Structure 1
Amino acid sequence: MADLSTMLANKRVLAVDDLVESRSAMKKMLTILGADKVDIAMDGDEATDYILNNDYDLIISDYNLGRGRDGQQILEEARFTHQIKATCTFVMLTGENAMDMVMGAIEYEPDDYITKPFTIDVMRQRLTRILAIKQMLKPINDAMDKQDRPTILALCDQLILAQPRLKRRVERIKGRTLLKLKKFDEALALYEDILQDREINWALLGKATCLFKLEKYPASEKVLVRTIREHPKYVQCYDLLSKIHLKNKDLKSAQNSLISATNVSPKQVLRQMELGRLAYANKDFTVAEAAFKMSVKLARHSCYRSVKNYLFFAKSVQHKITPANNRDSRAGSTEAFKAVEEAKNLYKENTDYVFEATIIESTTYTNLGKEADAKAIAAKAEELLTHVNDPTGAMQLSMVNVFLETSQHAKAQDMLAELGKRKDLSRAETRELTRTRNEISEQVVREYTTEINDKAIAFFERGQLQQAIDLFDTATAYKEAGYTVMVNAIQAKVTFMDQREPTRAMLKEVDELFVRMGELPSHDERYDRWIQLKKTQIRLKRAI
């Protein structure tokens, strides 16, 4: 057997534990075993800084590190940012009753994990075994660090012949490499060959993945269902099964698959985020709330921290918020405001994110029945939107909805008009635009056109006829525009032509307005004015 002291000599080692006594004991143990370059980190943040600035050959981390990043988050961030090489060995230490809590860490595949408490002999035995294997795999791992996949495949074939006892471990590397090269048929043949000899859970998942990539969804699903039945804690199977359900447009089943996965491994943040998005799309706000709450908690000290977690969590609790001053409503609004405020503080340099958070804040006040507060926050969102470079259609639509929630219908209509001119709306945004327009009642549009009418009259009275005509055109573009608005629009156009010269185009516009109005009854208070305008219209036509 290889000598551990020789393997540790001149190797850079990082040991991570939040307890002073444990750190001291671990460093002493590693020194006795032969390590002469040992760094000690007292928490996840310090460990992450060490990893960022040094190349380590061996990292040993306790899973539970108190506040801040835990061992899983150190590992996932190191993998995500490629700060640890494939040649580096990562060993996780875990309390004997904490296995359920470290399922997420195991998904990121530490090279080994050791249950606490352990003796120096246990540490010697485990490190000797894993470092010996890593030494034999070093040429392959060097090629992995260089992302030289053809060389990885060639070295895998060589090592399988030279070290038959590593065959399964090397075949697993080979299968993943073939998948990354999109050689799905070749990878499928490899996994099926392995399964002919022995059923292994990772080979079953590999086969299902190949079938999925080859768009053989029923066959892939069949393999996954069987694998889950035999290996119910192999959570990656649930992830792939969820993707198959999504391909079949079965969002509810996709959500249920991820619920099953999170029941097994609750601390995998990316899965919680995906579950939240699916549940929100399914309008299952109770599940979405729980998933995004966990996402916020898990990602707070992680590389996966995202403003979307905070915003979707705040959105997900809205279903509980009502003007009724009950416990659920109070708790929901408190959590929503807290999430919004945290998002604003964390991303205060990003106007887009602050705008989105402010929109949700206004909606929360609306749901609480606090109309004045909602309108005041809506004004802040409106101001923020003016500072956004090239606002998206989605941002403008959210502003429209807040305008409507706060009874600012004129502003909503103005922004809807802007949105109607955009050529870059997605299908979903176009559907939302249509839905919003359809939901605005005739009375709302009447109120809006009346507001425009008042502004146009002010221009007319100041002699700014063209500006008045432009506003009247905006108002009369709606079929709900009332008789008074149309009469005023005719008045502005007739006066404009009388002072300058009539045009066929504008005369046609006036004719169309008269047709829309039809015949006014003689008892209508606008009748005399309507008759006079008709006479002026006839005179202007004769002048052409």
Structure 2
Amino acid sequence: MTEPTSNAIGANFGKLSYLVVDDFENFRLSMRQILRNCGADKIESVANASAAVQYCAYNHVDVVLCDYNLGEGKNGQHILEELRHKKLLKRSSLFLMVTAETSKEMVMGAREYQPDGYLTKPINRAMLEKRLGGLIAQRNALLPINREIDRENFPEAISLCLQTLPSQPRYKTWLMKTLADLYYQVGDFSHALKIHDDVLSQRDLSWARLGRGKILIANQNYDEAAATLKALVSQHPDYMEAYDLLAEALEKQGRPTQAQQILEKAAEHSPNALLRHRHLAVLASSNQDMPTASKAWRQTVSLGTYSIHDNSEHYLALGQSLSDLSEGDSSNEGTAHADEALTILRRMEKRFAGQENIKLRSRIVQSRVHAGQDRMNEAQNALDSVADELDPDLMPPEACLDYAKTLFRLGREADAKGLLNALALRCSDNPPLLQKIESLLDEPVGFRQKLQARSLNREGIKAFEAGNLEEAVTTFNRALDIVPSHASLNLNLVQVLMKQYQGTAGDRELLKRCEKCLEKLADLPEQHRQHRRLISLRKKLEGMMS
């Protein structure tokens, strides 16, 4: 294949618009001159991130040449992240990261948002012509396809890909990958899978294996997906998308602990990916791994300082996890966690001052932090400071949940249960929220006590299955000492006591103990997952007592 002539390159450069982003004026002037020498005409330059984003919001840009390090504030990764998030760059636009820095941390972080290429300083005309010239040639050849994708006209884009494949063998890999992605977008998983399998039969390409794993997940074939993605991560430990998909597959398999471990590895490899840290924090929280959750939320908050993904919920979640860690811990470490929680919540109030309910959400958690450190006056003062806003009928559901949790910590159990029962009626069409209400009613305690009660529950079930009924009774009772109103635990104990009764000469005392357990659940909401089991065991007990 012949190399493009100097005139052809100049013509290609000349048709496009450029944006140079760099905090040093000398570099901006230098890049402008190099681009002009390459044939470019429409060239704009800016010194910082906000000016770059604003320019792209009002002007079409074909090529962005952006320095990674822009001094204080947002860097090149933040700009790329924001442009992608706001869809200010068309698929046909090119984004090249320019940098003197080549650290793995920088490259991995920027790669998360898929720049079209990297240019390492110092830059000369020959380097720019070669690197950018090739990208522009590819852009021009594939422009009709990318235009249809921007318009979300996926069937037409698929048709154009199929038409272009025979005439553009040079871009076969791009075309095959794009075609598979388009089939996935329109829900045609069989055609998408066939493309990946055809590619893999000829050559072991990581993107094809990743795509295959994605389709296996979509087809609910989680075991094969997990196996495929584990092998991919093992062979390509820097392929970050594979970690994310593997974590998703493991979660779908019901293996949240293993999913968390995968995300922890990913966070080590690429420490600047905010959204992955957020996913890790949510997963660790659901796994009751509060030290890991706090660490991940802390990193999420830190990375959000200049990110488009910055959110008050991240600050709130960090405060909540630190509250859990500090509860009942009067050691220096516990006090430090409590102090950090209060500091981060106050920062949240200032940073997001204009946001609705922000002070309310903050003070509810602050109250719980103080209560966890046995500072009851400060806890009550925190709630008093938002007394006018503490109306459960007007509060957002998540704020109501948080308020109920704080009421439990303050010893106001009846108020907390009343609030949760009212919330369950108000949000009866919201299954995820109902599950959170149910969990809080069952386990209105700190995370360490939750873990202890859950461990005892598992031990009790094992003892019951092994036929060790007395040991099972003892173990369930120990768990109920921690969470007396836990529905599943009470019903587990009832079943063991009934089994004991059937194996004895009719010890009525065992049935009375069953009655006491069921009485604890007299107010169990109908929406609770254990409600049908409660009704069934209640009827069975009535039959045994008659």
Normalising TM by the smaller chain, what interval? 0.7 to 0.9
SS of the equivalent of 1:242 reads helix
Identify which of 37, 41, 47 aligns with 2:46: 41
Give the letter aligned to residue 432 of structure 1: L
Change (3 A) 1:109 1:160: same
Counterpart residue number, 1:11: 16
Give the letter aligned to residue 175 of structure 2: V
**Native 8 Å contact 1:378 1:403 kept in 2:** no
SS of the equivalent of 1:113 reads strand
Counterpart residue number, 2:215: 210
SS of the equivalent of 1:300 reads helix
* TM superposition shift of 1:417: 6.3
Change (3 A) 1:414 1:264: closer
Matched ranges for 1:83-482 at <5 A: 83-321=88-326, 327-386=332-391, 390-408=394-412, 411-412=415-416, 415=419, 418-419=422-423, 422=426, 424=428, 426-436=434-444
Give the letter aligned to residue 26 of structure 1: M
* TM superposition shift of 1:367: 2.8
C-alpha distance in 2 between matches for 1:188 and 1:104: 29
Change (3 A) 1:365 1:25: farther
SS of the equivalent of 2:385 reads helix
C-alpha distance in 2 between matches for 1:245 and 1:441: 30
Give the letter aligned to residue 119 of structure 1: N
C-alpha distance in 1 between matches for 2:142 and 2:420: 61
C-alpha distance in 2 between matches for 1:298 and 1:264: 16
Give deviations 1:476-522, integer Å, cap 9, x for gaps: xxx99xxxxxxxxxxxxxxxxxxxxxxxxxxxxxxxxxxxxxxxxxx
C-alpha distance in 1 between matches for 2:111 and 2:10: 27
Give deviations 1:14-42, integer Å, cap 9, x for gaps: 11112333223222322332222222221
* TM superposition shift of 1:129: 0.8
C-alpha distance in 2 between matches for 1:439 and 1:392: 32
C-alpha distance in 2 between matches for 1:436 and 1:275: 24
C-alpha distance in 1 between matches for 2:156 and 2:133: 27
**TM-score, with normalisation over the residues of structure 2?**
0.75
1:76 paired with 2:81, answer: yes
Change (3 A) 1:148 1:414: closer
Change (3 A) 1:24 1:286: farther
SS of the equivalent of 1:365 reads helix
SS of the equivalent of 1:304 reads coil
**Native 8 Å contact 1:63 1:92 kept in 2:** yes
**Native 8 Å contact 1:45 1:68 kept in 2:** no
C-alpha distance in 1 between matches for 2:187 and 2:90: 23
C-alpha distance in 2 between matches for 1:189 and 1:78: 33
Give deviations 1:409-445, integer Å, cap 9, x for gaps: 6754653564475462613313423544999999xxx
Counterpart residue number, 1:491: none
Give the letter aligned to residue 366 of structure 1: A
**Native 8 Å contact 1:347 1:354 kept in 2:** no
Greater mean deviation of Cα atoms: 73-82 or 335-344: 335-344
Change (3 A) 1:259 1:145: same
SS of the equivalent of 2:118 reads strand
**Native 8 Å contact 1:12 1:38 kept in 2:** yes
Change (3 A) 1:129 1:421: closer
Query: Which one has the largest radius of gyration?
Result: 1
Give the letter aligned to residue 89 of structure 2: I
**Native 8 Å contact 1:279 1:285 kept in 2:** yes
**TM-score, with normalisation over the residues of structure 1?**
0.75
Give the letter aligned to residue 6 of structure 1: A
* TM superposition shift of 1:231: 1.2
| RMSD after superposition | 2.6
C-alpha distance in 1 between matches for 2:278 and 2:153: 32
- In structure 2, runs of 5+ residues without a counterpart are 446-479, 485-518, 521-546
Give the letter aligned to residue 172 of structure 2: K
1:67 paired with 2:72, answer: yes
SS of the equivalent of 2:306 reads coil
Give deviations 1:215-236, integer Å, cap 9, x for gaps: 1122212221221222111111
* TM superposition shift of 1:128: 0.7
Greater mean deviation of Cα atoms: 272-281 or 374-383: 374-383
Change (3 A) 1:335 1:219: same
Counterpart residue number, 1:499: none
Give deviations 1:179-226, integer Å, cap 9, x for gaps: 111111110100110111111110111111111111112221222122
Change (3 A) 1:411 1:351: farther
**Native 8 Å contact 2:66 2:96 kept in 1:** yes
C-alpha distance in 1 between matches for 2:147 and 2:421: 59
C-alpha distance in 2 between matches for 1:277 and 1:353: 20
C-alpha distance in 2 between matches for 1:419 and 1:210: 39
Counterpart residue number, 2:538: none
Q: After the TM superposition, which segments of 4 or more aligned residues of structure 1 sit over 6 Å from their partners?
A: 322-325, 437-442
Counterpart residue number, 2:496: none
Change (3 A) 1:96 1:412: closer
**Native 8 Å contact 1:95 1:116 kept in 2:** yes
* TM superposition shift of 1:279: 0.9
**Native 8 Å contact 2:442 2:483 kept in 1:** no
C-alpha distance in 2 between matches for 1:324 and 1:214: 46
Greater mean deviation of Cα atoms: 86-95 or 124-133: 86-95
Greater mean deviation of Cα atoms: 157-166 or 2-11: 2-11
* TM superposition shift of 1:297: 1.8
C-alpha distance in 1 between matches for 2:393 and 2:51: 37
